[in-house]
Amino acid sequence: MTVTHHTLVWGHHRMELGQCTRIMGILNITPDSFSDGGKFFALDAALARAEQMAADGADILDIGGESTRPFSESVSADEETRRVVPVISYLAKKIPIPISIDTNKALVARRAVAAGASIINDVSALRFDNEMAAVAAENDVLLVLMHMKGTPADMQVAPVYDDLMGEVKNFLRQAVVRAEAAGVSRKKIIIDPGIGFGKTVDHNLALIHRLNELHDLDLPLLLGSSRKAFIRKILGEARQAQFPPDHPVVEIGTQATIAAGILSGAHIVRVHDVASTVATVRIVDAIRNAF
C-alpha cells in the first residue's frame, strides 16, 4: 500500500501527488467514443458536462476531440481543433482547475495550449507526431505519455507480450528519454500503462495488480480504466449479459478497478463519473494512509 510522492508545478498550477489521489474527468467531444460518443458533441452539452465535473470534484479536465477506441479511424487536425478549442477557450476562463488536451497531433496540442490547456495527454507517447515533444517543451506544460501496442486501428488484434511489465516499462522509459531529449523537463512528465490499449483482459488485470512495479521509473502514474471493455467482459460473463459502457453495473466495476489501482500506486485516475470516483478515492486514500 505504499505510494511515491511527487510535486507537479507548472504555469500557475501546483499539485501534490501521493497523499491524495487526483481525479481527471473525461470529456469526449466526439460522435463515436466508446463510452459516451455523441452525448457531449454539442458545445452547450460539452460545457455543461465540464462544469458539472469540476463542481463534482475533478482535479483535472481531459478534453478530447478524436476517439481512440479500438478500430477507430483518425480525424483531421482541423476537425479535431474545431471540436475542442471553443470548449477549452471557454473553460479556461471559467474554472480554476487545469485542462488537459487528449490528442496525438502536435498542431491540435499547440492550438489547445494557446486556448488555455496546460497538459498534453498523448496516447501515442510521441510516436505518431514527432513535433509533439517540442510543443510540450516550448510551452512548459505537463506531458502524459501512455503505453500502446500498435495503433487504435490494430491494437486489439491479438496482442501478445513475452514480458508484460518489462515491455511496458521499457516502452515508457524510452518515451521519457525521447521527451527529455526534446527539452521536456522530467518534472513535467506523467506516465500511463495504457489500460485497454493493446491488451487482453488478463493483461489489464495484471497491469493494475502490478502497477507499483512502474514506480521504478520514479514518475507520477496515471490509470485510465474507466468503463473499459475488460470490465464489461468480466461482468457480462458473470451475469451472462452484455452491458453498455454507461451501465450502472459497469460503473461499479470501474470503481473496483480504481480502488485496486490506488492501492497499487496510482497517483491520478482518469474517469467518466467524477462524483462516484470522489467517494471511492476518499475512502481508499484513508485506508491506504492509515497507520
Q: Residue 290 contacts by C-beta under 8 Å, 6 or more apart in sequence?
A: none
Q: Residue 251 contacts by C-beta under 8 Å, 6 or more apart in sequence?
A: 227, 272, 273, 276
Please say if 82 is a catalytic residue: no
Torsions phi, psi for 144 (to 5 deg): -100, 125
Active-site residue, from 111, 188, 227, 270: 270
The label of the residue with cell 508545478 reads: 9
| 8 A C-beta contact, residue 262 and residue 237 | no
Q: Residue 162 contacts by C-beta under 8 Å, 6 or more apart in sequence?
A: none
Please say if 187 is a catalytic residue: no
Question: Angle at CA 185, nearest 5°, toward 134 and 85?
Answer: 50
Active-site residue, from 105, 111, 169, 228: 228
Q: What is the CA 84 to chain-centroid distance, rounded?
A: 16
**Shortest CA distance to 126 belongs to which of 81, 182, 193?**
182
* Residues belonging to the active site: 228, 270
